Amino acid sequence: MTQARLASCIPLPLEHKVLVTVIEKAKDWALMHGVGMRDKKHFTKDAIQIAPFVLLPSPFPRTEFNKAIELQPILNELMHKVAHDDDFLEHTLQNTLQVDEFTAKLYEIWVKVKDEGITQPISLGMLRSDIMLESRCPHTENQCAKHTPYCSWKQVEINSIASGFGHLGPVSREIQSYILRQLGHGDLIKNMPENRALSGLCSGIIEAYDLFGVPSAIVLFVVEEVSYNICDQRFHEFEISEKRPDIMIYRKTLNEIFEETTLNDKKQLLLEGYPVAVVYYRSGYEPAQYPSSKEWDARLRVERSSAVKCPSIHYQLAGTKKVQQALAAPGALEQFVRAELCGRVRDIFTGLYSLDFDESGERAVDMALEDAERFVLKPQREGGGNNLYGADVRAALLRMRRARERAAYVLMERILPPTVAGYVVRPGGAVPPPVTDLVSELGIFGVIIGTRDKIYCNRQAGHMLRTKLADANEGGVAAGLGALDSPYLL
């Protein structure tokens, strides 16, 4: 089947000289406004390089964009309720825990803190629901002809930990606006939706800080040994510092947290003598970030403490692919979402199948072996680069057919988004770059703060768009595959 196409916001190709000139300007704009990342190959803390970006905003149907924005608070609440449903998490994850050591370790910490009694009932969720347009319409060609080539969007996943691009999302709109103005198309900027992700997310941290209510308290960002995506993280700090000069922010790795923090008798997490009000994880979502028992001990200490965690460990568990798959099973949503809203949420799910050792798991394996290209095989991992596609799905399922390891994965129908022609500007890349076929993934941010019984705030908080080559399986920007982009509403 050929993939549907959307038209670029202005006709391509651009004239050679115009293109070279605008790219030179745009690269400087990028460096001077934090559209950057640290260089993985030649790492130094003294320089950043441009982050890859798409020259012109990518088309996205307006009605579908608005639908995603409107749905986000409902998804926030769904995640919040799932995170607080102990029985659902236990039941859903039980088989996965047998074979996935990382999820099992997280789960173990959750059980421990629950048994001891939760010190801080408030959680801060900074979520990002990632979606793609599905160009294969489930309706007949005729029914959809009036609004094809796209049909509607489907959810790729929802992230509950380290949902990045609160700065890089909005600034992508700014750089592309600058480029459009330089090209004499400033009139098109009105079709690029406002994006207040950075202030929206940072307000979440500030609101959680105020709920903690201790004047000398600090905010702690949990960071990697080396933060390549440094602009995105630092702009959160700059934003909080501007809005609230009284709030001091510290950046520490899990290892440093192990070495430098203590719990006092009130279970306050103390760093340099200051109680920590909010812990914001930008690391801690993958096994490599816990190289020894010290990092796990640090995680346990934070979870035991009175700090508001973003996310609390049960929120992280609620963000697993296994939970996403379980929510797509018949009857599951109804436990968490008001009946009149269930249809709207179910609409965004694409086929998701358990690979447990039961009748439906066997059926899913058979189905995938028959037509592997239709599916993505996903383990319980975050951060990109962990899924299997096409021939690898088949090989893995044949290998795991009778292996317990199978239960650590879920099977997902592959979404086929429409393509659009565009230019990707990369650090060190050819100037001008060739026109290439691209596909996009839109992330909608949500902020929710609450306890098991009370929700203090719940809102949609901006968006980000990542775009990759149409034939690439994955498109993480930090991983070097995707490029920053922003939507151009049709």
Annotated binding site: 233, 321, 378-387, 389, 412-415, 441, 466, 468, 474
Radius of gyration in angstroms for the set of CA atoms belonging to the chain, rounded to a whole number: 22
Tokens coding 101: 């050591």
* Residue 468 C-beta: closest distance to Mg ion, Å: 12
Q: Taking CB within 5 to 8 Å according to partner kind, which of ligand ADP, Mg ion, none is near residue 123?
A: none
- Residues numbered 395 to 434 that lie near ligand ADP (CB under 6 A) are 412, 414-415
Cβ proximity of 254 and 222 under 8 Å: yes
Q: Taking CB within 5 to 8 Å according to partner kind, which of ligand ADP, Mg ion, none is near residue 309?
A: none
Q: Taking CB within 5 to 8 Å according to partner kind, which of ligand ADP, Mg ion, none is near residue 155?
A: none
Segment lying near Mg ion (by CB under 5 A), choices 25-33, 151-159, 201-209, 322-330: 151-159
Residue ranges at the known binding site for Mg(2+): 382
Residue ranges at the known binding site for ATP: 321, 378-387, 389, 412-415, 441, 468, 474
Site string for Mg ion, 107-146 (x = CB under 5 A): ----------------------------------------
* Residue 481 C-beta: closest distance to ligand ADP, Å: 8
Of positions 64, 77, 100, 157, contacts ligand ADP by CB under 6 A:
157
**Which of 154/301 has CB closer to Mg ion?**
154
SS3 state at 425: strand
For position 386 contacting ligand ADP by CB under 6 A, the verdict is yes
Long-range CB contacts for residues 394-401, cutoff 8 Å, separation at least 24: 394/368, 394/369, 397/365, 397/368, 397/369, 397/372, 398/369, 401/365
Cβ proximity of 8 and 419 under 8 Å: no
For position 351 contacting ligand ADP by CB under 6 A, the verdict is no
Cα separation, 367 vs 375, whole angstroms = 9
Segment lying near Mg ion (by CB under 5 A), choices 23-31, 350-358, 374-382, 395-403: 374-382
Greatest Cα-to-Cα distance within the chain, rounded to the nearest angstrom: 68
For position 303 contacting ligand ADP by CB under 6 A, the verdict is no
For position 54 contacting ligand ADP by CB under 6 A, the verdict is no
Write phi, then psi, for 308 (nearest 5 degrees). -80, 125
Burial class (CB in 10 A: 0-12, 13-18, 19+), 339: exposed
Strand partners for 281: 222
**Which of 97/415 has CB closer to ligand ADP?**
415
Cα separation, 433 vs 266, whole angstroms = 58
For position 392 contacting ligand ADP by CB under 6 A, the verdict is no
For position 383 contacting ligand ADP by CB under 6 A, the verdict is yes
Segment lying near Mg ion (by CB under 5 A), choices 29-37, 49-57, 358-366, 382-390: 382-390
**Which of 100/157 has CB closer to ligand ADP?**
157
Tally of residues, the chain:
490
DSSP string, 358-369: SHHHHHHHHHHH
Cα separation, 175 vs 424, whole angstroms = 13
Which residues, at least 6 apart from 54, have a Cβ–Cβ distance to it below 8 Å?
Answer: 176, 422, 423, 424, 425, 438, 467, 483, 484, 485
Of positions 90, 108, 130, 260, contacts ligand ADP by CB under 6 A:
130
**Which of 129/203 has CB closer to ligand ADP?**
129
Cα separation, 455 vs 445, whole angstroms = 17
Cα separation, 156 vs 418, whole angstroms = 15
Burial class (CB in 10 A: 0-12, 13-18, 19+), 121: middle
Site string for ligand ADP, 447-476 (x = CB under 6 A): ---------------------------xx-
Cβ proximity of 129 and 155 under 8 Å: yes
Of positions 92, 159, 176, 316, contacts Mg ion by CB under 5 A:
159
* Residue 221 C-beta: closest distance to Mg ion, Å: 19
**Which of 61/319 has CB closer to Mg ion?**
319
- Residues at the interface with ligand ADP (CB under 6 A): 130, 156-157, 350, 376, 378, 381-384, 386-387, 412, 414-415, 441, 474-475
- Residues at the interface with Mg ion (CB under 5 A): 159, 382
